Structure formats: C-alpha cells, structure tokens
Amino acid sequence: MKRLLLVAASALVFTACTPAKTPAPASVEAETVAETPVMTLQQAVASDLRSDEEKARDAWRHPAETLDFFGVQSNQKVVEVWPGGGWYTNILAPWLGSGGGTLVAAGFDAAAIEDPERRARTEERLAEFKSAYADPKFGTLEYTVFSASSGPLTQSGTADVVLTFRNLHNWMSSGYAEKFFADAYDALKPGGVLGVVEHRLPSTQAQDPKATSGYVHEDYVKALAAAAGFEFVAASEINANPADTADHPYGVWTLPPNNTAAGRDGTVAEGFDPEKYKAIGESDRMTLKFRKPE
C-alpha cells in the first residue's frame, strides 16, 4: 500500500509540473500585422529620400509651410505639373504614399516636341524620372503629361489639389498659360485647390506677355485663374524675398540656384558682379491659393 501511495504521489507531481500546451493559431491570417505609420509632412521634409543639396534650399522654398498653406493632406489626390527634377516630388511622393493618397506627376510631353534630338532627350529624362520613383519608398505614382496639345491632367473632377512651382513663365513664353488653368480646373473636384508658386514681378515694372525675364505680375496670375473659373482664396508671403528687385541682366536665372553669369551668346554685361546676385539669394516669389467653386 505504501508503495502504491508513493507511485500515485509521483504521478501527481509530474502532472502538476507539466506546462499546459498553448493552442496553435487557427491560421497565419489571424496573426496581427503592425501597420506602417502615416508619415507627417515634417518627416517627409526631413527624410533621407531628399539630398543635402535639396534640403539646403528649404530656407528659400519653405516646402512644409507652402504645402500647409495650400492645405494639402496625405490622403489626397495631388497633381504636380512639370515636377522637373523632382525637388517637390521627393517630399510629396513618400508623404502621400504613406497616407493613402495619390501623386500624379504631369511631366513634359515628348510627343509635342518637333525637334527629334530634343524629343529624344526629353524621353530619356522622363524614363530616368520614372525609374527613380519606382522605389516602393515613394509609393505608387501616376504619370500624365502637360503641353499645348496634351489631354487631361488626370480623370476629370477627381483631384483634390493641383500644384505648380515656378513654371508659369515657361507656359507664357510658349503661349499656353491659359490652357494650364483650364486643365487644372477640369482636373479638380468642386472645392479643389490650385496652388501656384511663381517668380514675382513688381507691379511697377511692365509685364512682358512672354515673361522672358522669368518674372510674372501677381495680378496677371489672378486674372488667368479667374478667367478659367477659379476663386481666389489667399496669398502668402512665405516665399517672399524683398532683396530681389527682378531687374537682373539675365533675368531670374541670374540668381541662385542657376547663377547665370553670361548671355546665351557668351557676352557678359558691363560691370557684372556675380557675387552681388548670389548675395540676393533665390527669387522673390508669390504663393497663391485658388479654389474651384463648389
């Protein structure tokens, strides 16, 4: 009997010391997967996806303040017209990608260029641009084009915001600035925002219809927007530079970052001092917000 009691006690001790089995998960799908946090605008501006050279220009371009003024949100559909080398794209693409938004890059229209060599260079630049933004860190971009003969910037009435940075003078030079405002109006939802940043010509100076200096009257931009049906919302001095007189020998390109020091024919203006223009900094810029009526 004593022996039986000892065996029974040992069995109880063994049972008590054996850990309970943890039920296996019903399926892999049942496991909790951590979601990627939405990037803030400030984080996008400070991101390593931007070069040090790009960040050095924030003091003149104020990207966070500018996008905040336009009311851009990370979950919106935003069209950036003529993004160029992608200075703003490097901020917008990852930010919108993290927030569930969409960036539509409306680039140069190679098909509208008649010169074969220039068309080939443009096609090469567009291919390089798309390759650079194929990295998943930038989210998924959509691509369209803008020119005098291009189609819609995106599906009509679907964009929350259309943005252009220092491009209007180019379209004035080529004679299709009005088309930009009409195309932007068509792309936007009712209540959608058009944001324009452009080199500002003082009202005391005469406006060249071709904007050969690169500078444009603020009232001229407002008139073009109004003619397309936009309502003017507000102007900001975020990107103003009172030191810029807008009367430089080689137009706005005399100033940084271009620092042009000679004309196209190679001649240099009498008494030209490049350091004087470098000291001015980047151009004085208007920052205008328009809205498509509800």
Q: What is the CATH number of the domain that holds 101?
A: 3.40.50.150
Cα-Cα end-to-end distance for the chain: 94
Q: Averaged over 263-282, what is the pLDDT?
A: 94
Would you state the torsion angle of the CA atoms of residues 260, 262, 265, 271, taken in this order, to the nearest 10 degrees?
A: 150
* 229-238 tens-digit pLDDT: 999 999 999 9
The amino acid at 191: G
The closest alpha carbon to 152, from 225, 229, 71, 81, belongs to 81
- Using CA atoms, how far apart are residues 163 and 257, in angstroms rounded to an integer? 21
- Cα–Cα dist 13/58, whole Å: 71
Q: Does residue 263 sit within a domain?
A: no
Neighbours of 114 (CB within 10 A): 6
Six token digits for residue 273: 């001092």
CA dist 161 and 167 (Å) reads 16
Cα-trace Rg, the chain: 28
| Neighbouring C-alpha atoms within 13 Å toward the C-beta of 160 | 13
Residue 29 CB coordination number (10 Å): 7
Confidence of residue 37 (pLDDT cuts 50, 70, 90): confident
pLDDT at 24: 44
For residue 36, what pLDDT is reported? 66
| Tens digit of each residue's pLDDT (9 = 90 or more) over 54-70 | 999 999 999 999 999 99
Kindly report the average pLDDT of the chain as a whole number.
90
E strand or H helix at 172: helix 168-174
Q: Identify residue 151 by its one-letter amino acid code.
A: G
Q: Is residue 7 part of a domain?
A: no
Residue indicated by tokens 């309502």: 231
> Count of domains in the chain?
1
**91 within a domain of the structure (yes/no):** yes
163 pLDDT more than 90: yes
Closest listed residue to residue 218, CA positions, set 231, 236, 191, 242: 236
Q: What is the pLDDT of residue 35?
A: 61
Question: Which pLDDT does position 82 carry in this prediction?
Answer: 98
Residue 9 lies in a domain: no
> Does position 17 have pLDDT exceeding 80, yes or no?
no
Per mean pLDDT, which range of 72-76, 87-91, 114-118, 266-270 is the poorest?
Answer: 266-270
Locate tokens 């600035």: which residue? 177
Domain span including residue 121: 41-243+283-291
Residue 176 has pLDDT above 80, yes or no: yes
> Does a structural domain hold residue 84?
yes
Secondary structure of 199-247 in HEC code, one letter for each residue = EECCCCCCCCCCCCCCCECHHHHHHHHHHCCCEEEEEECCCCCCCCCCC
DSSP characters over 111-146 = GG--SHHHHHHHHHHHHHHHHHTTSGGG--EEEEEE
Q: Look at residue 159 and tell me if it is in a domain.
A: yes
Whether residue 10 lies inside any domain: the answer is: no
